[in-house]
Structure 1
């Protein structure tokens, strides 16, 4: 029994040493993800939730329908909205997406740098100002799941906010700021996926979980052994 206790104590000690650092990272990352509201992480407070009422004539609608059939014949659905002060219809799905001015029938996409800046600035509710607008053809880690190209509109606020605008739809497809970037980092530590930061079934995490279980079981065994040893004295 004594030899078994030595083996269990050795296993427990080394597992605690190896897994202990990760356990601390699980605690810290879990605490951050619990304390900071998800709405703030998503940046809901940084973008207007409302849209302006649509104003367009029947002639404008006819122009838009004609242009839609010409430029986006395989669109799966359409959305009526406003874009940079224009009443527009947005083609969704199909081989490509695009936006058409409801009055003129003109295709407004792909949008340029100036329009992307105006769209992001109009949607932004923070205290900063747009300081740069960059054309992104290779998605950075913080928007790795978004299709490129994108316009990255950066603001000079404390959170280093960036709005990513789709050139094909004119929509703000992602909002990134310091608290989101911290969340993304601690999420990486939490799930132990140091590449894509999305795989919660990766081998490294599974190994850490098994080691943690073994550490717990060896600790329980040592606790029961100590009680048994005291009882037999």
Structure 2
């Protein structure tokens, strides 16, 4: 039987197999280019306060800090709610220390997290609830727990996640981000972690798509050469 018959048949069946995934690639890609990345990241919903540091004689010396907390690997001075604090790290562990007294002030309590959220949030909603999270939800990925989750009552269903150990705003999540994450799962074909862009399923689908394109190109070339002969 002629080669063109088999190529045409293969092209048809490959198209049926890859067509649904190609549609998902186009839909997810369209969403990614239509919705600005800064909106997806939630930059319009919350900002990180960065008050300038000024010289002060009231800070505890870092040498005294090292004596009180052995094994410190790094120290960072920062402002938190108008108060100077040291963020110290001992290996993978982090903690906040009052810069004036050297006393540890973390993990932060609910009231402090509420104050941090009020300082950071620039949206139009009000706080619906504050949750202590010990099992990381899908939307925060591999960020270490525990976390404080501050939920807002507004159309975007915004949630801000704070570290109880550093007070940092570690994630902004809202419905546009969640739609992005859902479509990203289909885009990279990683239905578990949603972050492996080099998985086997994606490689197989890409190779199948390439085979579909090559068979179509061959059929196009074949149709032109056959027309010239007739």
Does TM, scored on the shorter chain, surpass 0.5? yes
In 2: Cα distance, 1:92 partner to 1:28 partner:
44
Q: Which residue of structure 2 aligns with residue 134 of structure 1? A: 131
In 2 relative to 1, CA 65–155 (structure 1 residues): closer, same or farther, beyond 3 Å?
farther
Q: Which residue of 2 aligns with 1:21?
A: 20
Cα 1:50–1:148 shift into 2, 3 Å = closer
Residue 195 of structure 2 aligns with which residue?
198
Q: Which residue in 2 is equivalent to 1:182?
A: 179
Aligned equivalents of 2:128, 2:54: Cα separation in 1: 32
Give how far 1:56 is off.
7.4
Q: Which runs of 5+ in 2 are unaligned?
A: none
* 2:75 match: secondary structure: strand
> Is the contact made by 1:187 and 1:197 (CA closer than 8 Å) also made in structure 2?
yes
Moved more, 161-170 or 83-92: 83-92
Whether 1:94 aligns to 2:98 is: no
1:45 partner SS: coil
Partner residue in 2 for 1:62: 60
What's the counterpart of residue 81 of structure 1? 78
- Write out aligned runs for 1:146-157 (5 A): 146-157=143-154
Residues 1:4 and 2:6 are matched in the alignment? no
How much does 1:228 deviate? 1.6
Q: TM-score, normalization: structure 1?
A: 0.91
Aligned to 1:223: 220
Q: Which moved more, 1:47-56 or 1:123-132?
A: 47-56
- Flag the structure with higher helix content: 1
The whole-number CA distance in structure 2 between the counterparts of 1:45 and 1:65 is: 40
SS of the aligned residue for 2:21 comes to helix
For 1:84 and 1:29, locate their aligned partners in 2 and report how far apart those are by CA, in whole Å.
40
* Aligned alpha-carbon RMSD (Å): 1.8
Which one of 166, 189, 195 corresponds to residue 169 of structure 1? 166
Which consecutive aligned stretches of 4+ in structure 1 deviate over 6 angstroms post-superposition?
none
Task: Name the SS for the 1:61 alignment partner.
Answer: coil
